[in-house]
Amino acid sequence: MRIETVFLFDLDGTLVDSVYQHVLAWKEALDAEGIPLSVWRIHRKIGMSGGLFTNQLLRETGLDIDPERIDRLRRLHAEAYGRLSKGVVPLPGAKELLATLTDNGIPWAIATSGRMETAGHNLVALGVDPDQVPVVTRDLVKYAKPDPDLFLAAAERLKAPIEHAVIVGDSIWDMLAARRCRGLGVGLLSGGYGTEELERSGAVRVYDDPAMLLQHLDEVGGRR
């Protein structure tokens, strides 16, 4: 008897090169609301849930951010990202990695903290049809990363125990969520976090990008 491995992927910074478009979109939204926040501080929050993002904003700026303002920020970010997403492309090896898993009969799914209004642009760039591939977005769960709900829902869509999942992400929020649901966290450097940060958050292996992960797929159970 052997464990049948499944792969659960984050989207932004993991399969598509979109982290900095998100950073600039959030910067534009925050500026429009008169909320001062440095670009580097925004980058540190990409990948976490919107609610946690807001809580950190409150701590760092001391501003009162009511529900109406939160909704405006989300809409402003989505509008800005829609314009900037024209420059989003798959990360090196991303399409080949997914194709290899499919060809080898290894199930995979995508679990992203983004809502479909922004994730949809990335899926188009990646060539993934959410009607054909399990895709879990922020719209479908109560809590996003670092809570594990997205990955748990994705594993359920694949009808697989979460303990059999290799969870691939580029941020500490992905790795913390993977650790909390007892999946095997694998980190990628393509989102801007460093090796030590990812390992401290629970990554058992760290690779540069999807292309490097594909070269070492057998190291994390990606074989039949």
Which of 162, 189, 176, 137 is closest to 11 using CA atoms? Answer: 137
Predicted TM-score (pTM) of this structure: 0.91
Angle at 172 between CA 144 and CA 195, to 5 degrees: 160
Burial bucket for residue 103 (CB in 10 Å: 0-12, 13-18, 19+): exposed
How distant is the alpha carbon of residue 123 from its chain centre?
12
Which of 183, 180, 152, 182 is closest to 166 using CA atoms? Answer: 183
Cα–Cα distance list, 221 to 31, 58, 93, 166 (Å): 45, 41, 18, 8
Rounded to the nearest integer, the mean pLDDT of the chain is: 90
Q: DSSP letter at 91?
A: P
The catalytic site residues sit at 10, 12
- pLDDT tier, 47 (very low <50, low <70, confident <90, very high otherwise): confident
Q: Is the peptide bond before 210 cis (omega within 30 degrees of 0)?
A: no
The neighbouring-strand residues paired with 184 are 166
Q: Are strands 135-136 and 165-169 parallel, antiparallel or unpaired?
A: unpaired
Read off the pLDDT of residues 88-136 as tens digits, 9 standing for 90 and up.
999 999 999 999 999 999 999 999 988 888 899 899 999 999 999 999 9
Measured CA to CA, the distance from residue 92 to residue 63 in angstroms comes to 40
Residue 224, pLDDT score: 61
CA gyration radius, the chain:
17
What is the DSSP code string of 152-185? HHHHHHTT--GGGEEEEESSHHHHHHHHHTT-EE
Helices 19-32 and 67-84: crossing angle in degrees, nearest 10, is 130
Residue 54, pLDDT score: 73
- 8 Å CB contact between 202 and 83: no
Measured CA to CA, the distance from residue 169 to residue 66 in angstroms comes to 31
Q: DSSP letter at 191?
A: G
Read off the pLDDT of residues 146-185 as tens digits, 9 standing for 90 and up.
899 999 999 999 999 999 999 999 999 999 999 999 999 9
Q: DSSP letter at 86?
A: G
